[in-house]
Structure 1
Amino acid sequence: MAAGRGEFFRSFQEGLQRLPVQPAPGRQQPSRGRGRPSAGPERGRAGSGRRKKRVEQSSVHWTESYKPRNAKVCFPFRTLPASTENFIERLPSEILIKILSYLDVSSLFCVSHVSRLLHQLSNDNILWQKIYEAEFGSHTWKPSSAEEEEETAEEEQKQEEEECMVSRWKKMYFNTVARQEIKKWRRDLKDVNPYTGLPNQTEWVLRNMNVSWELTVSSCTGWETTEEQSRAHFFETSVILSWSQGFIVKYRHLSSIQLYGVRKETSRSLKTRKPSWRSQILNLNIKTSPFRHISKDSLITVLLFKPGIIIGMWRGQDQVAFIMISLHFHKLVERSLLGSPVCPYSQPADPPPAGDSDPELGLHGYTLHFVLHSTGTEIMSGRFRQLSCLKGRVFSGLLVMRVINRTDLSQHRSLSGSMRLPWRSCELEGTVENCCVMSLTLLDVFQKPFWCISTPVYICLKNPAQSLDYSGRDFLMEHQDPEGRVTMRLVWLEEQKQFFLISLTVFISAAKINQHFRRAY
């Protein structure tokens, strides 16, 4: 809307300043007299002189672009002399502000980028005060003492040097809109589940805010595509996103993958589509990031990247078949809405909690919520309380927490279902064998989320077997990142046709503990 008005002003000014068009070389300028033009000098010299004089006085020129191909007579048009004067600036500021007052907020914001004059007038303080009062009611702005203390002399001098200071009412308008929008969904996230330590309404808020996720895949050859997720599988503490179409690039040509949270604005009219805000969640460099081959069959080969990214390739073609990403619910709403298109959301640093245990005694009172699942079924879920770690259990900069002890048979857990991760690509579908998704939520002594991960894990055979209480084969599942490591040991019982989880150990980075509690472990 505003872009159309800006284009109208520019075309109007260009029409007023258009340079005169010169006639084509060798072409005689026709006369404006009535009747047919003279065929030679013998016909009416006086009349031709008068007609010639009129032509010189009227500054009428022909233009080749307006002449039809088979026409004998073309109608001339009159051009004005060139002028460098800006006719918009000749209007009084009061009239221009009155015109701008009829625009809505989005149109007024777009008009401010047309020229310096319109930028200055569109930031008029009184204009934005009326907009604010019309939207939010009467309000008198008064600077608080905190704001006066924060404004230093250097900032005031910098604002005075600017040609056009942004209106305080304009700032307050956008801040009020942002606060109201954030308060709306943060109010819904205050209800915390005591079992998981996460908000109960995370999935509901994401769906209510019309949030989706887009994947931008770039190649070394300059090819780039952006695709919305094909499916989203929500669970208690995580969501699995999958993309199964639109990839025509070979894996060896991939350069990077960016994941964005996108909030789509609902429009009343199908013709008008508002741009969506994109919040970057992760940016993966394919060429420099390590990966592991976790599975393969007759159709695909599966690669696992961190954090929680699976890329499936067609065997023998080296072409991407599907991409799957697992995201934990912790701060997922903020990461999907409050980030920028080029930078992920950065969580503000919280002050160190008071009343932490003495470093000499170690950690105690921790709670772990642990889930193993696929895209459709839950394989195992458990909540483990009163986890502790003595100071002597620090190995290679990692604090060790024994969640399930291998020697305690009462703690062992059976896994329901099979270790398979279904996938789909266009018309084909299958399963990734010996693979599932691990969603881990570690709560500190204050029952606040301390370490949250959601990532695919896979099973590998453990040799030699260490279980003396079971006659089956031993397997191992592991995950490791800069913040910690998780180790799981399983036994496959052939008679029951199921896995038993006989050991679960969580390793926490001492650097993460020291940064969170301001202690020295």
Structure 2
Amino acid sequence: MAAGRGEFFRSVLEGLHRQPIQPAPGRPPPVRGRGKPGPGGGQAGGRGKKRRPKAARSPVSGDGYSCPERRREKKKADFPEIKTPPSKDNLVERLPSEILIKILSYLDASSLFCIGHVSKLFYQLANDDVMWHKMYMSEFGREMWKPKSVDDKAMKEEVEDRSAGHWKKMYFRTVAGQELNKWRRELREISPYTGLPRQTEWVLRNLNVTWELTVCNSWGQESTLEPSRAYFFESSVIIRWSGGIFISYHHISNIQLHGVRKETPNTPKVRKPDWRSLILKLDMKTQPSRFISKDRLIKLMHLSPGVMIGIWRGQSNVAFIMVSLHFHKLVEKSLLGSPVCPYPEPVDRPLADNLDPEFGLHGYTLHFVLHNTGTEIMSGHFRKLFCRTVQIQHGLVELRVIDRTNLSQHRSLSGNVKLPWKSQMLEGSVENCCIMTLTLLDEFQKPFWCVSSAICITKARRQLSFDYGGEHFLMEYRDADGKVRMKLVWLTEEKQFFLISLTVYISVTKVNKHFSTEY
């Protein structure tokens, strides 16, 4: 059957390329096809007669006359009307629409989708609903029984009863739904330690998901950067861009982060277009960055949430960009959004336990990690966190995780608090800076507040505890949903930090919106 198709296409192209036969001297030029002479025929080239096009003339053997053939009017074909005039040099576009659609019907869905971007003609042909209906039924449904008298024209009328492009949308929606259900099954197993799916990293790697950074300057020019390295942890991932040429930091107008699923090397025959899902978009004018820390080569700027930009000291050139992403709904954000709109998380509001309104919020769980691109500095899992209604002040719900007065809860930070970085040529580390990944679970053990962002250590203005004699420091994070406050002491003999207090504050507005309450 494949050989028959190839022979058919080859004969069509040979007919288009075939040169017309040169006429003998003194005889009219021959035309293709045969036809009977119509009424009103006369001598070719006679005066007073309106000449027909050459394609409509037919020679009569034996004399010097030819009778023009009246072209039969064909019935309107049941194919989309093509308004684009065919090019004289493009032999394919000179074919009738029904033949082109017949040729395109042998393509698979990905090839048909790609060929629709070639020209306006192929865009209209590749969106034929009859063709997509047959493709949909052949892959996802059984052909419905029809009487033998029902022909393609009747099926065309049936399909056109729906909106234009219906079956094309149904095809891709079904394909996406089948694949969505497949990897969602892998995300059903929840870790009791983090409250997140266990297989998030495995799914991201298996689906070949990557992240592209688009930097736009003040003149509207955009440059898309491929990631240089991704660092995976149990509840977050850090992506670094250090290759290529960055524009000046002061000329950056906005930054966009897209999740992209790349085509696997196992299927190089058909190159499908990469779908880009917008994860975040930061405007440098409305969301200005703030200085975090520096070393002898760079200074580090931070944009909420989770974007870090390293700038060469004494210059305005960008050395690298790093983004820290929390695992909560990261697969959905990287795949199910659109190129211009992020993935909208479904709203699932649980019922609040108001049996004892004076008791307030209770049953919270916190998974807390301090780490950098290579090592884990501190990790903790804290259960049964609560807040009484009298503790709700200044629009914040206070959850005391590590109490300063309870010495048994204090813990040390392993290793130095620093953030390693690497550019295209050089590398280093910013001292007293790291990544904080926080996962707060509500009383139903569902993720309630998830953060993964850079945080730095600053020296406290006064002594925070009289139980320790070393220098005291603070680590603070704040956004619209809440804030985190940590108190640390530097132990000179051990040469390490000791965490003596950890408090999480949640916005009352976020709590009321999540539980539909009125605290």
In 2, are the aligned partners of 1:264 and 1:276 still within 8 Å (CA)? yes
In 2, are the aligned partners of 1:111 and 1:119 still within 8 Å (CA)? no
Could you give the per-residue CA deviations for residues 468-512 of structure 1, whole angstroms, max 9, x where no partner exists? 000100000000000000000000000000100000000000000
* Counterpart-to-counterpart distance in 1, 2:215 and 2:74: 46
In 2, are the aligned partners of 1:357 and 1:363 still within 8 Å (CA)? no
1:409 aligns with 2:413: no
* Counterpart-to-counterpart distance in 2, 1:171 and 1:274: 17
Specify the alignment match of 2:250 in structure 1. Answer: 252
Q: Paired residue for 2:483, among 482, 485, 494? A: 485
Amino acid at match of 1:277: W
Cα 1:120/1:425, change in 2 over 3 Å: closer
Amino acid at match of 2:371: H
1:208 aligns with 2:195: no
In 2, are the aligned partners of 1:457 and 1:479 still within 8 Å (CA)? yes
In 2, are the aligned partners of 1:247 and 1:321 still within 8 Å (CA)? no
Query: Does 127-136 or 194-203 show the bigger shift?
Result: 127-136
Specify the alignment match of 1:106 in structure 2. Answer: 110
Q: Paired residue for 1:134, among 130, 138, 145? A: 138
Deviation at 1:296, TM superposition (A): 1.7
* Counterpart-to-counterpart distance in 2, 1:269 and 1:179: 21
Specify the alignment match of 2:185 in structure 1. Answer: 187
Cα 1:124/1:396, change in 2 over 3 Å: same
In 1, are the aligned partners of 2:491 and 2:498 still within 8 Å (CA)? yes
1:396 aligns with 2:394: yes
Specify the alignment match of 2:34 in structure 1. Answer: none
Cα 1:471/1:436, change in 2 over 3 Å: same
Could you give the per-residue CA deviations for residues 107-145 of structure 1, whole angstroms, max 9, x where no partner exists? 4446668669984895445x444323432352669xxxx
Give percent identity, aligned residues only: 59
Q: Secondary structure at the residue paired with 1:206? A: helix
Deviation at 1:100, TM superposition (A): 4.3
In 2, are the aligned partners of 1:231 and 1:241 still within 8 Å (CA)? yes
* Counterpart-to-counterpart distance in 1, 2:74 and 2:274: 33
Amino acid at match of 2:136: Y
* Counterpart-to-counterpart distance in 2, 1:450 and 1:393: 20
* Counterpart-to-counterpart distance in 2, 1:177 and 1:59: 50
1:470 aligns with 2:468: yes
* Counterpart-to-counterpart distance in 1, 2:284 and 2:74: 52
Specify the alignment match of 1:199 in structure 2. Answer: 197
Cα 1:297/1:95, change in 2 over 3 Å: closer
In 2, are the aligned partners of 1:356 and 1:517 still within 8 Å (CA)? no
Q: Which runs of 5+ in 1 are unaligned?
A: 1-7, 16-31, 35-52, 61-84, 142-159
Q: Paired residue for 2:455, among 422, 446, 457? A: 457
Q: How do 1:1-16 and structure 2 match up within 5 A?
A: none
In 2, are the aligned partners of 1:294 and 1:458 still within 8 Å (CA)? yes
Q: Paired residue for 2:344, among 343, 346, 350? A: 346
* Counterpart-to-counterpart distance in 2, 1:118 and 1:233: 41
Q: Secondary structure at the residue paired with 2:497? A: strand
In 2, are the aligned partners of 1:267 and 1:273 still within 8 Å (CA)? no
Amino acid at match of 1:196: T
Q: Secondary structure at the residue paired with 2:390? A: coil
Cα 1:271/1:471, change in 2 over 3 Å: same
Using the size of structure 1 for normalisation, the TM-score is 0.75
Could you give the per-residue CA deviations for residues 287-307 of structure 1, whole angstroms, max 9, x where no partner exists? 221332111222111111110
Q: Secondary structure at the residue paired with 1:392? A: helix
Amino acid at match of 2:108: D
* Counterpart-to-counterpart distance in 2, 1:356 and 1:406: 30
In 1, are the aligned partners of 2:484 and 2:503 still within 8 Å (CA)? yes
Amino acid at match of 1:512: K
Deviation at 1:175, TM superposition (A): 2.6
Specify the alignment match of 1:421 in structure 2. Answer: 419
* Counterpart-to-counterpart distance in 2, 1:173 and 1:110: 15
Specify the alignment match of 2:318 in structure 1. Answer: 320
Q: Paired residue for 2:362, among 364, 369, 387? A: 364
* Counterpart-to-counterpart distance in 1, 2:440 and 2:217: 37
Q: Secondary structure at the residue paired with 2:179? A: helix
1:501 aligns with 2:505: no
Specify the alignment match of 2:335 in structure 1. Answer: 337
Cα 1:332/1:357, change in 2 over 3 Å: farther
Could you give the per-residue CA deviations for residues 262-311 of structure 1, whole angstroms, max 9, x where no partner exists? 00122556575332111111101112213321112221111111101111
Amino acid at match of 2:346: P
- Pairs aligned (count): 428
Specify the alignment match of 2:172 in structure 1. Answer: 174
* Counterpart-to-counterpart distance in 2, 1:117 and 1:482: 49
Q: Which runs of 5+ in 2 are unaligned?
A: 1-8, 17-23, 27-45, 55-70, 80-96, 146-157
Could you give the per-residue CA deviations for residues 311-333 of structure 1, whole angstroms, max 9, x where no partner exists? 11011121000111100000000
Alpha-carbon RMSD across the aligned residues, in angstroms, is 3.3
In 2, are the aligned partners of 1:100 and 1:122 still within 8 Å (CA)? no
In 1, are the aligned partners of 2:259 and 2:333 still within 8 Å (CA)? yes
* Counterpart-to-counterpart distance in 2, 1:89 and 1:105: 30
Amino acid at match of 2:293: S
Deviation at 1:463, TM superposition (A): 1.2
Cα 1:423/1:295, change in 2 over 3 Å: same
* Counterpart-to-counterpart distance in 2, 1:369 and 1:499: 20
1:239 aligns with 2:237: yes
Could you give the per-residue CA deviations for residues 221-268 of structure 1, whole angstroms, max 9, x where no partner exists? 333211111110000100111111223311111111111100012255
In 1, are the aligned partners of 2:211 and 2:226 still within 8 Å (CA)? yes
Amino acid at match of 2:134: K
Q: How do 1:67-146 and structure 2 match up within 5 A?
A: 93=79, 95=98, 98-109=102-113, 119=124, 122-125=127-130, 127-138=131-142
In 2, are the aligned partners of 1:279 and 1:344 still within 8 Å (CA)? yes
Deviation at 1:422, TM superposition (A): 0.2
Query: Does 211-220 or 221-230 show the bigger shift?
Result: 221-230
Deviation at 1:396, TM superposition (A): 1.2
In 2, are the aligned partners of 1:359 and 1:519 still within 8 Å (CA)? no
* Counterpart-to-counterpart distance in 2, 1:119 and 1:258: 32
In 2, are the aligned partners of 1:255 and 1:286 still within 8 Å (CA)? yes
Query: Does 129-138 or 430-439 show the bigger shift?
Result: 129-138
Cα 1:206/1:112, change in 2 over 3 Å: closer
* Counterpart-to-counterpart distance in 2, 1:122 and 1:495: 73
Using the size of structure 2 for normalisation, the TM-score is 0.75
* Counterpart-to-counterpart distance in 1, 2:75 and 2:225: 46
Could you give the per-residue CA deviations for residues 445-474 of structure 1, whole angstroms, max 9, x where no partner exists? 000100000001000000111210001000
* Counterpart-to-counterpart distance in 2, 1:317 and 1:289: 22
Could you give the per-residue CA deviations for residues 362-408 of structure 1, whole angstroms, max 9, x where no partner exists? 10010000000111000110001000000111121101011100011
Cα 1:124/1:197, change in 2 over 3 Å: same
Cα 1:173/1:354, change in 2 over 3 Å: farther
In 2, are the aligned partners of 1:357 and 1:364 still within 8 Å (CA)? no
In 2, are the aligned partners of 1:475 and 1:490 still within 8 Å (CA)? yes
In 2, are the aligned partners of 1:352 and 1:516 still within 8 Å (CA)? yes
